[in-house]
Structure 1
Amino acid sequence: MKRILAVMALIVVAGAPALAAYPERPVRIIIGFPPGGAIDTIARLMGPPLAERLGQPVVIENKPGAGGVVAAQGGARADADGYTVLMGTMGNLSITPVLTKDLSYDMEKDFAPVTVVASSGFVLYVNPAFPARTVGELIAYAKANPGKVNFSSSGNGGLPHMAGELFNSATGLKLTHVPYKGSTPSVNDVIAGQVQMTFEATAIGLPFVQAGRLRVLATTGDQRLAVFPDAPTVAETLPGFSVTNWFGMVVPARTPQDRIDRLQKEIAVVLARPEIKERLDALGVAVVANPPAAAGRFMQEERARWAKVIRDANITAN
């Protein structure tokens, strides 16, 4: 009997690593926006080398709708096993949870942080035919032509929307918000002249600026961007104005911490690769890849910051 029990114990011990192996099947990354946007570009750049590191396919799944809410709902309902990752923007990870009431999920209770993948400069783009050449001229033109200047966004509650509303608040203007279902259609209508301007990520507008189909009026961070060195910041005209986008990853709450740590570790290794960093630098995207605890603190701080902006500016989701 002792020999039988000893053999059984060895079988259990030998089998334990196999049972605990992760991942054993494809990992799915859900994105709440259509293909072609900055977040989609970053995810698809990371996908192949991350799959190589994990030893399993990494599937990028676009689930656009309601400014990233549809994807977040799906992420919150997924099994907490490390096989479903929600990759979001500052908009749907930090702004939407405080801007939108009666969500079916709680960003802090239903999700666990993995990492802040990267941060990206934000830019005020205008149609090339728009008469204003500076932020000051834009403000003067909008005041002289009330109701004639619109700004597009990727959807209600997203960072492009909030940046525009913050601009309204800082200038006393009432630029009309025109929401779209994603960054690509939003930018396309600025290019077509249907809308005069938009606040968007560097990566999205850069190729159109290079092709002469968009013009950079200003950047929105605290410092000028290397990719647009001649473009002033909005803060040079409106002191204190600051908007920087970031992209983060979260998983369903109660996902085993060792799996979260493995994901973060492999993501950090992938983002440190010279060829990946070079591609991101060219898009105006800076790698962050911080540990889960630091990412969680940062996301909470961002939610608190934007809650104050929303409250002070009396901004609503609609």
Structure 2
Amino acid sequence: MFRVTPRAVFGAKFGTTFRTLLAAASAAAFAFAAGPSAAQGFPDRPITLVIPFSAGGSTDLVGRLVAQRMSQELGQSVVVENKGGAGGNLGAAQVAKANPDGYTILMGTVATHALNPALYKKMPYDPVTSFAPISLLAVIPNVLVVNPEFPAKTVSELIELLKKDPDKYSYASSGNGTPLHLSGELFKSMAGVQMQHIPYQGAGPALNDVLANQVPIMFDNLPSSAGHIKSGKLRALGVTTAKRAPSFPDVPAIAETLPGYETYTWNALFAPAGTPPEAVAKLNAAANKAIADPAVQARLADFSAIVVGSTPAELEAHVKAEIAKWAPIVKASGAQLD
């Protein structure tokens, strides 16, 4: 059985895009695996998993863990290929244009399938029609952190400070148009506050300046900040999921102060559109079994990732819901990339 995200963790709002997902995920995976139409010959050679970002980030870690376990399930190697660039568009486009035979698949994210279509004037693929969904694997919370010298100790105190001095404070992110930037823009909009956005070329440089108190506030992936939070080098004011993250139960959700606030990063597998349903079914079953493995779940829990697992149809519905959610936020932020 999968360790899926209960409504008690993420709440009803999160559940609106997953109402059928969590209850059906385990049964669906095994139904796909046992179905009479399963392709007899697939796979008969290695599969390439394209990760559209550089090595070392949370997407890369999820991808490598899942690829290793899927290799065991499929009896063929699942080889990771990192192809970063253009916010994930280069790697995603490579898979969208690949031969639709199931041997080239993508580790998609909220960036490649929800944010980039709103950020880029010209896209090299369509996030819905260019892909065959396989499975939503995991969601990863973001976190609002401040330097320990910053006076606010809660989200409420931060909002009060920002309203008192609307032009005084700034926040860092990993770059324009990233999920972390837009987490900040959503916070500003919902709280009715102002902060200057300071974009960096990646989360690492941004985090370094927050640790050095050059910029006092940052929205970051929870795995990236986790060690600094535990050591006291950063103060976590709130996680961005609707409910508290199991790995940091003492850190409130921002939604406890701003009801309805919710952002997170997610990882999902996609094949090129037109991939035979039998191949998609085998990939879905292998992926869902991979994330059901206790060893994989334990490793994912180490960096606050929460296992989901889904059917292809549920992933497709999730992507459409995410596009609808983020398009107006991106537009309101004014972020635009060429």
2:161 corresponds to 1:141:
yes
Could you say which residue in structure 2 is the equivalent of 1:104? 124
Could you say which residue in structure 1 is the equivalent of 2:142? 122
Q: What secondary structure sits across from 2:258 in the alignment?
A: coil
Distance 2:195 2:52 in 1: 26
Question: Which deviates the most, 156-165 or 202-211?
Answer: 202-211
2:95 corresponds to 1:66:
no
> Of the candidates 268, 273, 290, which is equivalent to residue 253 of structure 1?
273
Give the superposition deviation at 1:309.
Answer: 3.4
Could you say which residue in structure 2 is the equivalent of 1:226? 246
RMSD: 2.3
Could you say which residue in structure 1 is the equivalent of 2:42? 22
Distance 1:300 1:181 in 2: 29
Give the superposition deviation at 1:289.
Answer: 1.5
- The alignment's TM-score, normalised by the length of structure 1, stands at 0.85
2:336 corresponds to 1:317:
yes
Asked whether the equivalents of residues 37 and 183 of structure 1 are also in contact (C-alpha less than 8 Å), the reply is: no
Aligned length: 299
What are the within-5 Å matches in structure 2 for residues 69-108 of structure 1? 69-108=89-128
Could you say which residue in structure 2 is the equivalent of 1:161? 181
Asked whether the equivalents of residues 128 and 212 of structure 1 are also in contact (C-alpha less than 8 Å), the reply is: yes
- With over 3 angstroms needed to count, the CA separation of the structure-2 counterparts of 1:213 and 1:72, relative to structure 1, is same
Could you say which residue in structure 2 is the equivalent of 1:305? 325
Give the superposition deviation at 1:145.
Answer: 4.3
Question: Which deviates the most, 138-147 or 27-36?
Answer: 138-147
Give the superposition deviation at 1:148.
Answer: 4.2
Q: Deviation digits for residues 13-72 of structure 1, max 9, x if unmatched?
A: xxxxxx962223322222222322221121122222222222222222222223222222
Give the superposition deviation at 1:90.
Answer: 1.5
Question: Which deviates the most, 149-158 or 75-84?
Answer: 149-158
Could you say which residue in structure 2 is the equivalent of 1:289? 309
- With over 3 angstroms needed to count, the CA separation of the structure-2 counterparts of 1:72 and 1:150, relative to structure 1, is farther
Distance 1:70 1:198 in 2: 27
Q: Which structure is richer in relative contact order (CA contacts within 8 A, separation 6 or more)?
A: 2
Specify the code of the residue in structure 1 equivalent to 2:86.
A
2:210 corresponds to 1:190:
yes
Could you say which residue in structure 1 is the equivalent of 2:71? 51
Asked whether the equivalents of residues 64 and 181 of structure 1 are also in contact (C-alpha less than 8 Å), the reply is: no
Identity rate, percent: 39
Distance 2:125 2:192 in 1: 34
Question: Which deviates the most, 160-169 or 52-61?
Answer: 52-61
Asked whether the equivalents of residues 154 and 186 of structure 1 are also in contact (C-alpha less than 8 Å), the reply is: yes
Asked whether the equivalents of residues 112 and 127 of structure 2 are also in contact (C-alpha less than 8 Å), the reply is: no
Give the superposition deviation at 1:302.
Answer: 1.5
Distance 2:141 2:59 in 1: 13
Q: Which structure: larger Rg?
A: 1
Distance 1:89 1:249 in 2: 9
Specify the code of the residue in structure 2 equivalent to 1:250.
F
2:60 corresponds to 1:40:
yes
Distance 1:184 1:54 in 2: 36
Question: Which deviates the most, 125-134 or 271-280?
Answer: 125-134
Specify the code of the residue in structure 1 equivalent to 2:285.
K
2:203 corresponds to 1:204:
no
Give the superposition deviation at 1:116.
Answer: 0.6
Could you say which residue in structure 1 is the equivalent of 2:23? none
Could you say which residue in structure 2 is the equivalent of 1:15? none
Give the superposition deviation at 1:99.
Answer: 3.3
Q: Deviation digits for residues 126-157 of structure 1, max 9, x if unmatched?
A: 22333321112222333444444332333333
Structure 2 gap ranges (5+): 1-38
Structure 1 gap ranges (5+): 1-18
Distance 2:62 2:287 in 1: 12
